[in-house]
Structure 1
Amino acid sequence: MTSKDKPSLSYKDAGVDIEAGERLVDAISPLAKATRRAGVMGGLGGFGALFDLKKENWRDPILVSGTDGVGTKLMLAFETGIHNTVGIDLVAMCANDVLAQGAEPLFFLDYFACGKLDAGIAEAVVSGIAEGCRQAGCALVGGETAEMPGMYPPGHYDLAGFVVGAVERANVLPRFAEMKAGDVLIGVASSGPHSNGYSLIRRIVERTGLGWDATAPFADKPLGDALLTPTRLYSHAALPLIRNDRIKGLAHITGGGLTENVPRMLPDDLTPRFDRAAWPLPDIFRWLQEEGNVAEDEMHRTFNMGIGLVFAVAPDQVDRAIAELEAVGESPIIIGDIVPA
């Protein structure tokens, strides 16, 4: 049989549906448009996304970029069929990181990869990304949807996010030269494990034998829903303190917990000292520790233990910082201080 006698093949026959991708872009365009801010130039569909800093009145800006994913928390989305929250996690993991440098998140791009595009699932994921961008105050300016037959099992996908923020040169964090022993650590609450420790969480749930639709022992909702509670975004809490010159450093508490993340904002000659009794341990962490028989130090090295963000504040700025956090709806807690290393 010659090549002319063989059936004609198309990209769709190979498993890639270009038309489905185009329909997805049409469906998510309104979601992206709703996150638009003054500096955005153009819309979706270009080879790159343009952003005009002058239109946002930056004087001496430093650009700060970040990238991250959601990790094995995605497995819960696959197993429960809940796909509209992991996009919030994706934005939060990136946007909260650039906040730690003092930066306001400006714009965000996502990468969604799958074996076969399911438009309903993809649109649910992107709706979460758009919601995360709304909460962070940044614009969803584009992304990439990659349909790669054979790369992922049916119903599975992967996510990556990319954020660019800006900070005035004078406000860049952390300020190592200004930090001193006696500075105070102020924490604000997490919504749960956020997007860290989910390989251990899944192992613990497997040990309990509970299904994702069983009532969570620590919350009045199904276990899957409770564990998919999205990561909090902290732009509303951090940016006023950064702009008002209230803080010397900021730590986003991700993988590594307080133990490893707070030292990242400190110079080598200083170290954090935590008062672990200063804040109530959320029930979810107590349950994970008991069911998994997880050692105390391992818990603090794996999970945020109820604290999502930590500020380093001079003693004479503590009252003002706490008042400004309370003004935006937070319940800040003094969780420790800084001491010589």
Structure 2
Amino acid sequence: MTSPTDAEAVAALAADLVRLDSRSSLSNLAVAERIEAALPGFEIERLDYADASGVAKRALVAHRGGPGGIALSGHMDTVPDTGWTNDPWSGRVDADGVLHGLGSADMKGPVAACVVAARGLPADVPATLLITTDEETTKQGAALIAERSELARRAALRGIVVAEPTRLAPIRGHRANINFEAVATGVQAHSSTGRGTNANLALIPFLSAMRDLHERLRTDPGFRDPTYDPPFPDFNIVLDNHGTALNVTVPRATCRIKFRYTRAQDPAPVQRAVEEAASAAGLALFLTEDGTPPELPADHPLVRAAEAATGRTAGTVPFGTDASRLNAIAPCLVLGPGDIGVAHAPDEHVSLAELAAAVPLFRALMRG
């Protein structure tokens, strides 16, 4: 059962975190400081860095007790406030006990549940929190923890529960992704003069090849994984002319592609096809890999423990989480309060009752 004190603490901390604007383009230091203040008695490791735009960021590792426990993990950043018509950072709670605001479900509410669960454990039970940032963009916070955290290493974790919103259903596997950026360069001029070179013309053959690859990924049985819904990989194409006006020849055209794949799907042929198409079109190509697909066997002890605690069979999901980076530290399972269906959408919200229900569930998993 969740105590009234725990329920009140989760509600208060979640609302406080929502009220702090930490879109990925901004610094998250205020959120990190609020979380640290909520963890008296924990050893805190601050992993500070500047992102690619020079913005100050901080990931946190917090630990109390001995080694060998199960860690809880969540991220502090949010997506942009696109489409919101009311205050994204109000932290408003309505009469039905629903918290509204950007990041309420994804995932400041779940982070609050993690914090309250960890600090309420007996002192002799290992309690570890891995609190990241830039999950919505580069997963740099999780990568930094995996690569450099001395405290996480000393904690000798048996497993990690990533508390992304799953409606408290255990998720044993999800996709990882490779991000491609293909860039065509032209010559800017007034389009009426005939003196410019439109970068889109160099991009068109590449886009044609990407359209064919997109269709192949959806129809070729060799790329299907029936344990996921949908069974085919995600291959999402986004185009950008960087604000060029209609009467100007495009000096720079960019095609960005997010390719998501499961552990059973080999990314090498896809990467090779993108590289060959970019080379043939004379484009510059940049890529970043987002770790590896985290996927635990159905009989893994962490999966079995989560199924026993929730009474639900572990499944898989098509989206990604920090588990693709944190699985370098320990086996990862995804399980958290909230609905991914309202994440990244205007009027994002989460039930305070569901946040409170996550607290004893998390504690049960951490006790082992």
- TM-score when scaled to structure 2? 0.28
Higher relative contact order (CA 8 A, sep 6+): 2
